[in-house]
Amino acid sequence: MIFLAHSSLVANNGCMPCESFSCTMQLLGILFFLVAMAYVYRRLKASSSHFNKKGKLGRKLEILETKPLGNRQFLLVVAYEHEKFLVGVHPNGMHFLSKLKSAEDSFSSKQHHSKEPKPHH
């Protein structure tokens, strides 16, 4: 009796004859789940790489450059929105060093100074 039940399970791919519809539905459900998970993974991967490349979508803080100084000390150029800052980092903490002028600020200040009359000697 056990041998007959086993041989009928093997003949029907592990499903009882009356459960073949149920097995098919389970298989389709698993396939649907795998396809859905692959779709979600690709969407998340694409959006995260877009965030990392652009750095602008929802992210206001960026580390633009790092310069190691040795002995676990380094300098960071950090941007927040449209401003840039120089920050020093060491094993015991970090320090704000200065606000950096952007290229636009430097250009506009040079234009502003060039329009002022030069003093006569």
Is 66 found in the same domain as 33? no
- Whether 55 is covered by a domain: the verdict is no
Q: Which domain does 97 fall in, by range?
A: 61-115
Is 99 found in the same domain as 68? yes
Is 107 found in the same domain as 66? yes
Strands 93-100 and 83-90 come out as antiparallel
- Whether 41 is covered by a domain: the verdict is yes
Angle at 93 between CA 88 and CA 98, to 5 degrees: 30
| Mean pLDDT in residue range 95-116 | 69
Confidence of residue 107 (pLDDT cuts 50, 70, 90): low
> Measuring CA to CA, how many Å separate 116 from each of 20, 65, 108?
90, 35, 13
> Across the chain, what does the average pLDDT equal?
75
pLDDT at 68: 93
Question: What is the reported pTM?
Answer: 0.41
> Measuring CA to CA, how many Å separate 6 from each of 9, 20, 27, 104?
5, 16, 21, 80
How many domains does the chain divide into? 2
